[in-house]
Structures are given as C-alpha cells and as structure tokens.
Amino acid sequence: MTDRAGGHDDPPVEVLAEAAAAFGLLASTARLHLMWALSQGESDVTHLADRVGGALPAVSQHLAKLKLAGLVRSRREGRRQIYYIDDPDVVTLVRVMVGQLTARTRHSAAPLRATGG
C-alpha cells in the first residue's frame, strides 16, 4: 500500500471488493427500503413486508441476501425471526444517505420565493 496525500493508505483490494458488493446490494430499492426500516428498529418479516409493500417471499429473499452479506442479523423469538442491524456504522450510513437525499428532494421541490427588491 502506498501512502497518499492526507496520510491515508489505500485499502486492500479485498476490502474494496467487499464494500462494492455491499453497496451493490443496497443498489436495490427494495433492499435499501428494508435497511431504512431496520435502521429505525428491529422487526419480523411480516411487518417488514407490510411496511415496504413487498410480497412475503420476496422480502424474505432480500433479507437472506442482506444477512449473507453481514448487513443484517436475525434471532428467533418463538416462531418468528426478528431482523435487525447490529452495526451502528451501517445504521448511520443508511440514515445519512437516505436523509441527505430526502432533504435534497424536499429542497428542490420547495416553491421559489421572491427575493426583496
């Protein structure tokens, strides 16, 4: 690895590949919506399907992919599987990204106000 301006080394190729795969998973609107919902708190698949408006089998498949990538985890409560994000950095990443884009959308949709003159 080579020292770059600012004193930061480039990450190993393996780390970049893993990050690209995680971002690739989040490139799906449905999976990003699930991550947004889980960043607000844990939930079971039925409630997640209702919240994101997806079919139960499709939501289950999305959650399985996110789980395999290590972005979400689950635990069993009786007969239900409860999904959650246990990495606060992932929660922050999702909240910041969606929050910033939401703010931009609202700002660009705001009516223009006449300036004094």
Q: Which residues pair with 43 in a beta bridge?
A: 83
The closest alpha carbon to 22, from 41, 37, 9, 35, belongs to 35
pLDDT for res 3: 52
- Whether this prediction's pTM lies above 0.75 is answered by yes
pLDDT for res 105: 85
**pLDDT tens, position by position, 49-76:** 999 999 999 999 999 999 999 999 999 9
Cβ(90)–Cβ(51) below 8 Å: no
CA atoms within 13 A on the CB side of 107: 6
pLDDT for res 62: 97
Find the mean pLDDT for residues 86-105: 90
Q: What is the token pair recorded at 87?
A: 């990495």
* Amino acid at site 36: W
pLDDT for res 5: 59
